[in-house]
Chains A and B, each alone.
Chain A
Amino acid sequence: MIKLSVNNQPYTVDVEPAMPLLWVLRDILHLTGTKYGCGMAQCGACTVHLNGEAVRSCVTPVRRAENQTVITIEGLSKDFSHPLQRAWIEEDVPQCGYCQSGQIMAAAVLLRENPHPTDQDIDDAMSGNICRCGTYQRIRKAIHLAAKLSAK
C-alpha cells in the first residue's frame, strides 16, 4: 500500500512500487489529464509536479511519490484561472491538445522559478516537451503573456 497526495487529496493505492506514477494517475486514480506519449522521458506529455518540481511521471516509480505532494493538470486551478491557462486561451495555443497538459505543467515551474523568462529561458525550460502539431510559437507567446498576467 502506497500513500499519495494528489492535487491535495489523499489516496492509498495497492500497486507495485516500481509502477510509474503516470500509470497510477491514469489507470488507478483515473486522472487522465496527464498523458502517455513515449514512456521514456523524451516528450514531456506526462509532466507533473512532484513537491513542486516538474518530473516525467512515465519514468518516476510511484514509490518516489510516496507521502509526497503531486500536482497534476487537474489540480492547477479549478476554473482555468491560472495565468498560464488564461494565456493559453488568449493565444489560442492548443491544436490536437494532447501535449498541452505537459507543456503547461512544465511552464508553471519555469514561471515560478523565473517570473520574467527570456526566449532563451523558455527554450531551455520547454525543449523537453514535444508538440507534434507545432504550437511552439504560440506556447512561447503565451508564456510571455502569462508572465505579464502574473505580474499584475
Chain B
Amino acid sequence: MSTTSYNRRDFLKTGGMLSSGLLISFFVPAGAKRFIPGGETPEPLFAPNAYLNIGPDNTVKITLAHVEMGQGIWTTLPMLIAEELDCDWSKIKVEHAPPGAPYIHTLYGVQITGGSSTTWSEFDRYRNAGATARTLLVEAAAKKFNVSPSECHTENGFVIAGNQRASYGELADAAAKLPPPASVKLKDKKDWKYIGKVKKRLDTTAKISGEAMFGIDVHFPGMLIAVPAHAPVFGATVRSFDASAAKAIKGVQEVVQVPTGVAVIADNFWAAKQGRDALKIDWELGPGENIDSTTQFEEYRQLAATKGATAAQAGNADDALSRANKKIAAEYIFPYLAHAPMEPLNCTVKISDDLCEIWTGTQMPGLDQSIAAKILGFKPEQVKVNTLFLGGGFGRRANATSDFVAEAVNVAKASGKFIKLIWTREDDIRGGYYRAAFLHQVHTGLGADGLPIAWQHRIVGQSIQEGGPFAASIKNGIDPTSVEGVSDSPYLESIPDHNVELHSPKLPVTVLWWRSVGNTHTAFVMETMIDELAFAAGKDPVAYRRSLLKGKRHLAALDLVAKKSGWDKPLPQGRFRGVAVHESFGTVVAQVAEISIREGHLRVHKVTCAIDCGLAVNPDGVKAQMESCIIFGLTAVLYGEITLEKGRVKQRNFHDYKMLRMNETPLIEVHIVDSNEKMGGAGEPGVPPVAPAIANAIFSATGKRVRRLPLQSSDLVKV
C-alpha cells in the first residue's frame, strides 16, 4: 500500500516528504507475537507491512498507525523500528498512516490512538516490521556479495561483509523482490541501542519553526473557510434562519444549513466568523433547555439514594458497616470538563463526483472515513483521510460520532464547496463531548485495628460508551469507564465486605473520554477517602496505604515517591504534603504534592512523581508525559468546570475556562521505577493522582477535606 499521494506531499511540508523511491513491500510473519496485556490469545496477524519503506537515498520512511498529538509517538514508534532495522536515525522520516487494515489497533480492533496504549500495543508489531526489513536487506546483500547471510552484519544503515558494504538504499530494490521470511528473531534486550535510552523528539524542529502542519494549517487554491453556528442548548435544532445580514458581509460566499446548525462559508476565517455572528437563527430548543448544573447534582443525589447496577460486590457491606468501630461517609461532586486542546477543532473537505478527501487531526481516522462515506453515499475507499499533527487531543479528537468531521462533510456536501471548517474557541468550550459530571457517595467503616472493614460506594454519571463503537463493553448496566478505579481498586481487595453501584442517567449533554477517563474522578474519591481513613486511624498516610496495598508495583511507586519527596523529613514552616497512588492504563503512578496556603491562595510548590510503566521505551518521553499530566490534572483542580444554566454553557473561552499558566507551575520531578513488569501506558496515568495528592495536602494544611472539584475558596480556609 502506498502511503503517499500527490496532494499529501504537496502541502505536507514536514516529516512525510520523500521521493517515492522503492517501496519494499513485504509481510509481517504470521506468527509475529504481539504484546497482549492480560494474556489473551493473539489473532493471527498477516498484514502487509505498511509500516516502513526505504528509498534509494537511504531514507527510511516510517508510517505511524497512531497519531502524534503531543505524546511523542512520532519518535517512540520509529525507535522500535530503528532498534531492529539498524538504520541511520538521521535518515528517518515519519508520516501518519491513512485509514487501512494494517493500522488497526492490535487490541482494540479499530484504528485509534487512545487509552495510553500506543507503545505497548505496537511494541512487537513495529519491532517485527524493522526486523523483517533488516532480514530481507541482509539476504539481498548476501546475494550481491556472494556470501551467506550469516557472514553479514548491519550497521547504521549498511549491510557489511568483510570488505564489502552496501547501503540499505542500494539494496532496497533487490530486497523488494525477495519473498518475506517465515519468521524473524528479535534482538535480545541486552543488545538494545534505542529502547530504554533517551531519544530526542523527531518533530521538534518542525514545531519551533512554524513548519509543522496541523489540520488548521492546510491551504489549497479555491478552498474557502466555514464557521458553524451551533445550538445554544444541547439537542436543539434549527427551526428557521435569516442569513441576509451574514451575506451582506464582504467575503461571505454562502450560508448552508446542516444537521448540527448553520454554517457560513467565506473567503477567510474573519469574514466567515463575522457572518456567523450576524446570523439570526430560530432554534427549536427541546428538553436541553431544562438542564441546570445545580439541579443536576440534586437529581444525581436522589438517584444515589436508590440501588444502582452492581459493579463490584463481596460479602455483606451493610452488616460489616453496622459492626464498624468508626464510620465515615462522604459525598463528592465533579463537574463537566472540556478538553480544550490548543488547536481549535477543524476539518478540511473536498468532494468530487466519486472521491472525498479529508484533512484533519483525528484520533480515529478509520471511523471518520466510514462516517464521511455514509453521509455521502460513498464506499469507505472513496474517502481519503489525511491526518496532520494534532494540536492536542486528550480524547476530544476520538469521537464515535466524528462530530467535527461529519459537520465539515455536511457543509461541503450542502454547499458543493471545498471548505475548511474551523470552530472558534467558544464553539469548542461550548461544544460538549465533555468529561461527564459525576457524583459519588461513599460509606466506610473501620475495624478495631484501624483498617477498613466495609465499603459502600455509589456512583452517578452519564455513560460515555453507550451508543459508541465500544458499547459492547457495557455489561449488566455497567459502563466500565464510569467505575474504573473504584470497582477494580486494589484497596477493595483488602476489604472483605464491599459493594460498588452505578447509575447512568441519560442527558442531552454529550460526553466523552477525557485524559484518563473514569480515573479522573474515581482516583480522587479513593485516594482522598483512604487518606481520611488513615487520619481516622491515626496512621501515616504512606504507611497506611502500604498496609492495604499488596501489589508490588503500587508499593514500588509509593516507596520511590516517598523516598524522593523526602516524605519522612520535616517540611519548612507553612509547607504541607499530600500523597496519592493510582493505577490506570496498566501503569502505577504515585505522587506527592507540596503546597502552601497564604491568605486563601493555594500555591503548589512541587510535585514529585514516581511511575512504574514497565519498560520505558523513551524515558524522557515518559517524563514529559508525567509533566504534562500533572499540569493537566492541576488545571482541573484549580479551574476546571463547565456549568450549565437553563441548558446554556456559561463558560466560553480561556478567561472563564481557565488553564494553568507558567506562574502557577510547580517544580515537577519525575522518577521512573526500574521495572520488568508488563508495559503500561504513559499518556494518561499521571493525571489521576494529582488532584487527590493536592487535596490531601490541603487537608494537612486546613484540617478540611475537599469534596468537590474544582477547589472552592472555602476549601482553603482553616477549620
Which among B210, B392, B665 is the interface contact of A132 at CB below 8 angstroms?
B392
A96 contacts across to B, CB distance below 8 A: 68-70, 341-343, 389-393
CA distance A122 to B270 in the complex (A): 33
B71 contacts across to A, CB distance below 8 A: 95
CA distance A85 to B267 in the complex (A): 34
Which among B225, B341, B661 is the interface contact of A27 at CB below 8 angstroms?
B225
Contact with A along B617-644 (1 / 0, CB 8 A): 0001000100111111001000000000
Does residue A67 face the partner (Cβ distance < 8 Å to B)? Answer: no
Tell whether, in the assembled complex, residue B269 and residue A72 are in contact, meaning their CB atoms are under 8 Å apart. no
Given contacts A32-B213, A35-B216, 11 further A-B contacts (CB under 8 A): A23-B268, A34-B210, A39-B425, A45-B342, A96-B393, A97-B391, A100-B208, A130-B342, A133-B628, A135-B628, A137-B627
- With most chain B CB atoms within 10 A of its CB, the pick from A31, A77, A96, A124 is A96
User: How many contacts A-B (CB < 8 Å)?
Assistant: 185
Does residue B655 face the partner (Cβ distance < 8 Å to A)? Answer: yes
Does residue B209 face the partner (Cβ distance < 8 Å to A)? Answer: yes
Tell whether, in the assembled complex, residue B219 and residue A32 are in contact, meaning their CB atoms are under 8 Å apart. yes
Tell whether, in the assembled complex, residue B653 and residue A42 are in contact, meaning their CB atoms are under 8 Å apart. yes
Contact with B along A22-40 (1 / 0, CB 8 A): 0100111011111111111
Tell whether, in the assembled complex, residue A30 and residue B209 are in contact, meaning their CB atoms are under 8 Å apart. no
Tell whether, in the assembled complex, residue B662 and residue A89 are in contact, meaning their CB atoms are under 8 Å apart. no
B268 contacts across to A, CB distance below 8 A: 15, 19, 23, 27-28
Which among B70, B425, B624 is the interface contact of A37 at CB below 8 angstroms?
B425
Does residue B344 face the partner (Cβ distance < 8 Å to A)? Answer: yes
Segment 112-141 of A: residues with Cβ below 8 Å from B: 122-124, 126-140
A-B contact pairs, 29 of them (CB 8 A): A16-B270, A23-B268, A23-B269, A32-B216, A33-B209, A36-B422, A37-B654, A38-B425, A38-B653, A42-B654, A72-B210, A96-B69, A96-B342, A97-B203, A97-B389, A97-B391, A98-B341, A98-B342, A99-B342, A104-B208, A129-B661, A132-B341, A132-B342, A132-B392, A134-B629, A134-B632, A134-B660, A135-B627, A136-B661
Tell whether, in the assembled complex, residue A27 and residue B269 are in contact, meaning their CB atoms are under 8 Å apart. yes
Does residue A73 face the partner (Cβ distance < 8 Å to B)? Answer: yes
Does residue B9 face the partner (Cβ distance < 8 Å to A)? Answer: no
Quick one: closest B residue to A33, CB to CB?
Answer: B210
Does residue B714 face the partner (Cβ distance < 8 Å to A)? Answer: no
Tell whether, in the assembled complex, residue B663 and residue A127 are in contact, meaning their CB atoms are under 8 Å apart. yes
Tell whether, in the assembled complex, residue B204 and residue A88 are in contact, meaning their CB atoms are under 8 Å apart. yes
Quick one: closest A residue to B659, CB to CB?
Answer: A130
Which among A36, A40, A127 is the interface contact of B661 at CB below 8 angstroms?
A127
Please report A residues at the B interface, Cβ cutoff 8 Å. Answer: 15-16, 19-20, 23, 26-28, 30-40, 42-43, 45, 72-74, 76-77, 80, 84-85, 88-89, 92-101, 104, 122-124, 126-140
Does residue B205 face the partner (Cβ distance < 8 Å to A)? Answer: yes
CA distance A129 to B662 in the complex (A): 8
Range of interface residues on B (Cβ < 8 Å): 35 or more
Does residue B487 face the partner (Cβ distance < 8 Å to A)? Answer: no
Does residue B200 face the partner (Cβ distance < 8 Å to A)? Answer: yes
Tell whether, in the assembled complex, residue A30 and residue B219 are in contact, meaning their CB atoms are under 8 Å apart. yes
Which among B225, B269, B654 is the interface contact of A38 at CB below 8 angstroms?
B654
CA distance A48 to B300 in the complex (A): 48
A139 contacts across to B, CB distance below 8 A: 662
Does residue B172 face the partner (Cβ distance < 8 Å to A)? Answer: no
B391 contacts across to A, CB distance below 8 A: 35, 96-98
Does residue B471 face the partner (Cβ distance < 8 Å to A)? Answer: no
Does residue B99 face the partner (Cβ distance < 8 Å to A)? Answer: no
Tell whether, in the assembled complex, residue B209 and residue A73 are in contact, meaning their CB atoms are under 8 Å apart. yes
Does residue B303 face the partner (Cβ distance < 8 Å to A)? Answer: no
Tell whether, in the assembled complex, residue B631 and residue A94 are in contact, meaning their CB atoms are under 8 Å apart. no
B668 contacts across to A, CB distance below 8 A: 137
B267 contacts across to A, CB distance below 8 A: 27
Tell whether, in the assembled complex, residue B210 and residue A95 are in contact, meaning their CB atoms are under 8 Å apart. no
Tell whether, in the assembled complex, residue B665 and residue A97 are in contact, meaning their CB atoms are under 8 Å apart. no
Quick one: closest B residue to A139, CB to CB?
Answer: B662
Tell whether, in the assembled complex, residue B209 and residue A36 are in contact, meaning their CB atoms are under 8 Å apart. no
CA distance A20 to B273 in the complex (A): 12
Quick one: closest A residue to B343, CB to CB?
Answer: A98
Tell whether, in the assembled complex, residue A89 and residue B205 are in contact, meaning their CB atoms are under 8 Å apart. yes
Segment 378-411 of B: residues with Cβ below 8 Å from A: 389-394
Nearest-neighbour CB distance to chain B for A28, whole angstroms, equals 7
CA distance A128 to B200 in the complex (A): 27
Contact with A along B659-674 (1 / 0, CB 8 A): 1111101011000000
Nearest-neighbour CB distance to chain A for B344, whole angstroms, equals 7
Nearest-neighbour CB distance to chain A for B157, whole angstroms, equals 23
Quick one: closest B residue to A94, CB to CB?
Answer: B207
Nearest-neighbour CB distance to chain A for B360, whole angstroms, equals 14
Tell whether, in the assembled complex, residue B72 and residue A95 are in contact, meaning their CB atoms are under 8 Å apart. yes
Which among A28, A73, A123, A137 is the interface contact of B210 at CB below 8 angstroms?
A73
Segment 63-90 of B: residues with Cβ below 8 Å from A: 68-72
Tell whether, in the assembled complex, residue A98 and residue B392 are in contact, meaning their CB atoms are under 8 Å apart. yes
Q: Known: A37-B342, A132-B392, A137-B668. Is A123-B630 also a contact (CB below 8 A)?
A: no
